[in-house]
């Protein structure tokens, strides 16, 4: 069975990409699916969030993009059915080294071709629309866009959607926008309601019903190397990511 690959992307930083990648992966695992998470951000926050030390990693996403073998780059996350291709600061050099390489946008797609043993592959993208994100988009079946409930992140949504359309037209015809996920939602503020309403007006069929709350517990969990369902399973954040996993599964079925 070919895995369904989701790129979690937004050129804006601090919108909840990594939090979404690791916790969505964890919820899919809890439902019995086999998940591979690819950390494609040189900051390596997804790697750290799963409790993996970035010192002396045997292989990383950098090696994968430079022609390494997927089986060599994959490591255990410490959770059953949840595997990881980690990242560290070396990944920042991949953009320079791939600048003149043939098929530079398709390196990740080529590395994942024939990957088996997984139901889902999640790619945590860096906060840019550079070569690392482009590789993720070329490898993906669907794109999930986390969007913070503020106006500045909202401004970049149209630009990102245009980029996705260009990638689909010229590099990856199977790419689809899986949905826009509103994050750091605080229902006590008028701004949060206004931003959600704005996204619903412009992208009515794309916004997820699930709203990820602004949550201290969600912020704390990575410092302990834990998923929110491990750190505080009764929290609003844990409940929200459980609901998101259900929505993602429903949307995946409708798009296949």
Helix, strand, or coil (residue 121): strand
* Residues whose CB falls within 8 Å of the CB of residue 72, separated by 6 or more in sequence, listed in order: 58, 59, 63
- Phi then psi for residue 158, to 5 deg, are -65, -40
**127 near 40, Cβ under 8 Å?**
no
Domain residues of the chain, as ranges? 4-255
Q: Please tell me the pTM assigned to this model.
A: 0.95
* Helix (H) / strand (E) containing 67: none
| Alpha carbon separation from 249 to 49, 99, 148, 210, 219 (Å, rounded) | 23, 36, 22, 13, 25
Helix, strand, or coil (residue 148): strand
Mean residue pLDDT of the chain comes to 92
Take residue 208 and report the two structure tokens written for it: 């997820």
Q: Tell me: the pLDDT tens digits for 35-71?
A: 999 999 999 999 999 999 998 899 999 999 998 899 9
Q: Tell me: the pLDDT tens digits for 70-87?
A: 999 999 999 999 999 999
Q: Report, at the CATH architecture level, how domain 4-255 is classified.
A: 3-Layer(aba) Sandwich (3.40)
| Count of residues in the chain | 256
In the predicted model, residues of the chain with pLDDT beneath 70 are 152-153, 255-256
């Amino acid at each position: 069975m070919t895995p369904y690959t989701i790129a979690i992307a937004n050129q804006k930083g601090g919108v909840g990409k990594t939090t979404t990648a690791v916790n969505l992966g964890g919820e899919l695992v809890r439902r019995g699916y086999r998940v591979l998470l690819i950390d494609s951000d040189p900051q390596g926050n997804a790697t750290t969030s799963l409790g993996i030390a970035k010192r002396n990693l045997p292989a990383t996403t950098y090696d994968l993009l430079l022609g390494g073998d997927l089986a060599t780059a994959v490591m255990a996350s410490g959770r059953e059915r949840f595997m990881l291709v980690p990242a560290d600061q070396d990944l920042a050099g991949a953009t320079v080294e791939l600048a003149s390489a043939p098929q530079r946008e398709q390196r990740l797609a080529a590395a994942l071709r024939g990957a088996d043993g997984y139901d889902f592959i999640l790619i945590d993208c860096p906060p840019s629309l550079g070569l690392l994100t482009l590789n993720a988009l070329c490898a993906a079946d669907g794109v999930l866009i986390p969007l913070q409930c503020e106006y500045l992140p909202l401004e970049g949504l149209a630009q990102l959607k245009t980029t996705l359309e260009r990638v689909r037209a010229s590099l990856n015809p199977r790419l689809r926008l899986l949905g826009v996920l509103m994050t750091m939602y605080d229902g006590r503020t008028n701004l949060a309601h206004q931003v959600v309403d704005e996204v619903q007006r412009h992208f009515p069929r794309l916004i997820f019903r699930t709203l990820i709350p602004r949550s201290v517990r969600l912020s704390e969990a990575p410092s302990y190397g834990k998923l929110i369902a491990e750190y505080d399973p009764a929290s609003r954040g844990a409940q929200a990511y459980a609901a998101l996993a259900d929505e993602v599964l429903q949307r995946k079925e409708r798009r296949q």
